[in-house]
């Protein structure tokens, strides 16, 4: 088990229970809370390394709570959990100070990777909301492959790879190809094919 300490703040008891079961074999779970107010008390009392914070809480939205969590414990890293896959949420949570965002529909390995990346400082733009093919293209870009190589691996044309790259840059708010490649290397996705 890693020495990493995690607090879970989500208003759904089943989600909290599932996260505890999933994460407790790898990390120390310091506690759970069903709302932002109780979550802030938990953070002050336990000083976790990571807070998994739901975006929708009964007493206030998780987005507006991020600065308060960071004030309560400036060293923590916050990963926002959400069922929303729209890229504007990703931009908003990172702008508010969270380390990143993880879709509740993501597989467990992505949550593990996001936790590790947040602690190492390598998670600066989430990559949820992407199609499986966009994720594959992004992963292969991160491996240093060029469009022709990606096309060959995925069985698509180089033009289609270029189109996927353009959509990736738009979705992730990245304006250059070099920025997209740097992002892909930071988040270290693995191709799903």
CATH number at residue 171: 1.10.10.10
14 and 109 belong to one structural domain: yes
* Strand duo 50-54 + 5-9: pairing: parallel
98 and 145 belong to one structural domain: no
Share of the chain above pLDDT 90, in %: 46
| Separation CA 113–CA 120 (nearest Å) | 10
Point out which residues pair with 81 in neighbouring strands.
Answer: 54, 102
Burial tier of 27 (Cβ tally within 10 Å: 0-12, 13-18, 19+): buried
> Is residue 51 one of the residues assigned to a domain?
yes
Query: What is the distance of C-alpha 96 from the center of its chain?
Result: 14
105 and 140 belong to one structural domain: no
The CATH number of the domain where 115 resides is what?
3.40.50.2300
Boundary of a domain, candidates 67, 95, 120: 120
Which of residues 133 and 41 earns the better pLDDT score?
41
51 and 75 belong to one structural domain: yes
pLDDT at 187 > cutoff 70: no
Q: In the chain, how many domains are there? A: 2
Q: Name the residue range of residue 108's domain.
A: 5-120
pLDDT of residue 124: 45
Which of residues 5 and 176 earns the better pLDDT score?
5
SS3 content of the chain, % helix, strand, coil (to 5): 50, 15, 35
55 and 142 belong to one structural domain: no
Average pLDDT for residues 83-98, to the nearest whole number? Answer: 69
> Is residue 67 one of the residues assigned to a domain?
yes
């Amino acid at each position: 088990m890693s020495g990493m300490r995690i607090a879970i703040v989500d208003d759904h008891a089943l989600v909290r229970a599932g996260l505890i079961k999933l994460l407790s074999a790898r990390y120390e779970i310091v506690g759970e809370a069903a709302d932002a107010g109780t979550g802030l008390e938990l953070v002050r009392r336990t000083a976790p390394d990571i807070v998994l914070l739901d975006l929708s809480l009964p007493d206030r939205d998780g987005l507006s709570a991020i600065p308060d969590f960071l004030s309560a414990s400036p060293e923590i890293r916050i990963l926002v959990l959400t069922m929303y896959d729209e890229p504007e949420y990703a931009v908003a949570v990172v702008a508010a100070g969270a380390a990143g965002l993880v879709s509740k529909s993501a597989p467990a390995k992505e949550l593990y990777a996001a936790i590790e990346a947040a602690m190492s400082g390598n998670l600066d733009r989430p990559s949820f909301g992407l199609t499986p093919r966009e994720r594959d293209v992004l992963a292969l870009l991160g491996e240093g492959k060029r469009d022709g190589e990606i096309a060959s691996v995925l069985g698509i044309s180089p033009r289609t790879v270029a189109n996927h790259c353009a959509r990736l840059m738009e979705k992730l708010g990245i304006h250059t190809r070099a920025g997209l490649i740097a992002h892909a290397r930071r988040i270290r996705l693995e191709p799903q094919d």
